Amino acid sequence: MNAGKTLFAQVMEFVPWSSFARIVQHYGGNSGVRSLSCAEQFRAMAFAQLTWRESLRDIEVSLCANSTKLYAMGFRSPVKRSTLADANESRQWRIWSELAALLIRRARKLYARDSLGLDLDNTVYALDSSTIDLCLSLFPWASFRSTKSGIKLHTLLDLRGAIPAFIHISDARLHDVNVLDLLAFEPGAIYVMDRAYVDFSRLYAIHQAGAFFVTRAKAPMVSRRVYSAHVDRTTGLICDQRVMLTGRYPSKLYPEHLRRIRFKDPESGKTLIFLTNNTVLPALTICALYKSRWQVELFFKWIKQHLRIKHFLGTSDNAVKTQLWCAIATYVLIAIIKKELKLEASLYTCLQILSVSVFERTQISCAFPGDDYTAEPASTAKQLILFNI
């Protein structure tokens, strides 16, 4: 039984503080700081994420209400909302992005052997983006349309463990396809994308890097059939073809064969056309890979529902990115704890329990029952009977 440390302090022990200190030193994060160091700032932001605090005042009041436990949680002095606001505004957001990158690398190693549900040894990534709407009057630097602002979260999700391998935060005006220019493609990996990323020059760059892509075709796509493979139409497959692009510009941008698979979804009845440069995998596996792309949609839905990224603690570019990166680091940190301690509870359950138990002095491995946990009814053997019927 852990008699000294709170759950929050035990969670923070999984942060690589020595590596974090080198990051802080590189950016001069603690230069001239008298109170609220970068480590304390991250603790405060992680506390806000875990306990669903939605304002600076919420953070200040909640921590001050437990002032006797703050030192053991890593706070040298009470956290003031004005100090935290100034830190979010002035300290370089790249400190938190590099911390998140450290945690992501650690998490991906832990989840590398997880099953995809497909007989594949390749690393499979799903690429997509999600827009977070902002108020135009409060966030004029992120102007999106005439009536609102917005930022866009571009995410490359490793489908083993649903761990983000790459994240880029931009204003909402940046088109999704431009993010392909920022990626270093991993040879042998499979990148699953929707039609927004269909740009033949960029797809050819993936092909030349020795990686594979799976996406859907845009209409119209001018092409010439080169070869047709036999398909079993009872499985929903309509055709499996090799094609050459015949348009004036597409044929120059992608001068090699593409694989085109036409599939009728038995659930929706829609006919889908997939494009890939992988000629080895079975056609049904290609269709299943594209279906697995929905994991990135679920990831966006999950973090918007369970992390505090809709109510921002500051209005500047730096403050918004600081909060987003701290939220991502917290998400990955809980994923690491779940894997290293072999917890049966889901990430949702872990966050729910932490949200009400961060100040409890309980061994962390004992604090998270499985999702199917049900409390045993209290014994009534010694209960006095008032009425005999």
pLDDT at 373 over 90: no
pLDDT score for 356: 87
pLDDT score for 370: 57
Residue 224 has which token pair?
Answer: 């010439």
For residues 193 and 210, give the distance between their C-alpha atoms in angstroms, rounded to a whole number. Answer: 17
pLDDT score for 377: 47
Q: What pTM did the predictor assign? A: 0.84
Task: Give the CB-side neighbour count of residue 246, counting CA atoms within 13 A.
Answer: 8
For residues 334 and 357, give the distance between their C-alpha atoms in angstroms, rounded to a whole number. Answer: 14
For residues 169 and 151, give the distance between their C-alpha atoms in angstroms, rounded to a whole number. Answer: 7
Written as one string, the DSSP assignment of 285-314 is: HHHHHHHTTHHHHHHHHHHHHHSS-SS-S-
Residue 19 has which token pair?
Answer: 């590596």
Phi, psi (5° rounding) for residue 49?
-70, -45
Angle between helices 81-90 and 317-340 (to 10 degrees): 100
The overall average pLDDT reported for the chain is 88
Are 129 and 154 contacting, i.e. CB atoms less than 8 angstroms apart? Answer: yes
Phi, psi (5° rounding) for residue 254?
-130, 90
* Each residue's pLDDT tens digit, 189-206: 999 999 999 999 999 999
Q: Where are the alpha helices (DSSP H) in the chain?
A: 7-12, 17-27, 38-51, 56-64, 81-90, 94-110, 200-208, 250-253, 283-291, 294-306, 317-340, 347-357
Q: How much is the average pLDDT of 147-157?
A: 91
Q: In what order do the strands lie in the sheet with 271-276?
A: 163-171, 149-158, 124-134, 190-192, 212-216, 271-276, 258-264, 237-245, 223-229
* Each residue's pLDDT tens digit, 205-262: 999 999 999 999 988 888 999 999 999 998 999 999 999 999 888 899 999 999 999 9
For residues 34 and 377, give the distance between their C-alpha atoms in angstroms, rounded to a whole number. Answer: 52
How far is residue 37 CA from its own chain's centroid? 26
* Each residue's pLDDT tens digit, 68-89: 888 888 898 889 999 999 999 9
Q: Which residue has the higher pLDDT, 35 or 185?
A: 185
* Each residue's pLDDT tens digit, 282-328: 999 999 999 999 889 888 888 887 777 777 888 899 999 999 999 99
pLDDT score for 47: 93
**What is the gyration radius of the CA atoms in the chain, in angstroms?**
25
Are 14 and 5 contacting, i.e. CB atoms less than 8 angstroms apart? Answer: no
pLDDT at 57 over 50: yes
pLDDT at 280 over 90: yes
Are 122 and 189 contacting, i.e. CB atoms less than 8 angstroms apart? Answer: yes
For residues 123 and 188, give the distance between their C-alpha atoms in angstroms, rounded to a whole number. Answer: 8
For residues 244 and 258, give the distance between their C-alpha atoms in angstroms, rounded to a whole number. Answer: 6
List beta partners, residue 299.
none
3-state secondary structure of 129: strand
Residue 376 pLDDT class (50, 70, 90 cuts): very low
pLDDT score for 388: 46
To which residue do tokens 């990430």 refer? 347
